[in-house]
Amino acid sequence: MTWKPQLRAWRSIFFLAIALCLSGCGTPVGQVTGKVTYQAKSAGNVQLHWTSVADPDLTFVGISDAEGNHQTSYRTYSGIHVGKYALKITRTTVAGGKGPSSGEESAVLKAAGKAMTESFAFEKEIVAGKNVMNFELTEGKKLPPDGSNVKVVP
């Protein structure tokens, strides 16, 4: 009679392991790092919005630091799923073309009508392992002012 509780416990552990694997554990990821520039100068505090070409519901967001360095991660992974992505990089500027010092300041200035945004589209493929990707914004496709359309056709 003592074997039934043990069997039940092992069965629960087995099904939990199966559920974890089916939920995405083991999905290959690529570590994405690099620098964002605009007219050869560091573009700090820009937003990088990655959308999978194969699955548009799969999106990732990264933000560059004040010097334009970026790193995009997913949950606890240091990276994002491998595959082709449409990338939209959004730059916020205030008078004189200078960028705000943080994302919070950017949101406040945009809400007050004291800042404008520019978005640029790129298409990139993420492979397993390290992916060093530097972006010069003027080399991307400039999007319309609303910047909502990220589609980049392969």
Residue 13 in any domain: the answer is: no
Largest CA distance in the chain: 79
Q: Which of 24, 74, 72 is nearest to 46 (CA)?
A: 72
- What pTM did the predictor assign? 0.71
For residue 15, the model assigns a pLDDT of 54
User: Looking at residue 144, what DSSP letter applies?
Assistant: P
The pLDDT of residue 133 is above 50: yes
The secondary structure of 67-99, three-state, reads CCEEEECECCECCEECEEEEEEEEEEECHHHCC
Q: What is the pLDDT of residues 55-110, one digit of tens each?
A: 999 999 999 999 999 998 776 667 899 999 999 999 988 766 666 555 556 666 66
From residue 48, give the alpha-carbon distance in Å to each of 73, 134, 147: 11, 12, 13
Residue 151 lies in a domain: no
CATH number at residue 103: 2.60.40.10
Q: Give me the chain's average pLDDT, please.
A: 79
Looking at the structure of the chain, the number of domains it has is 1
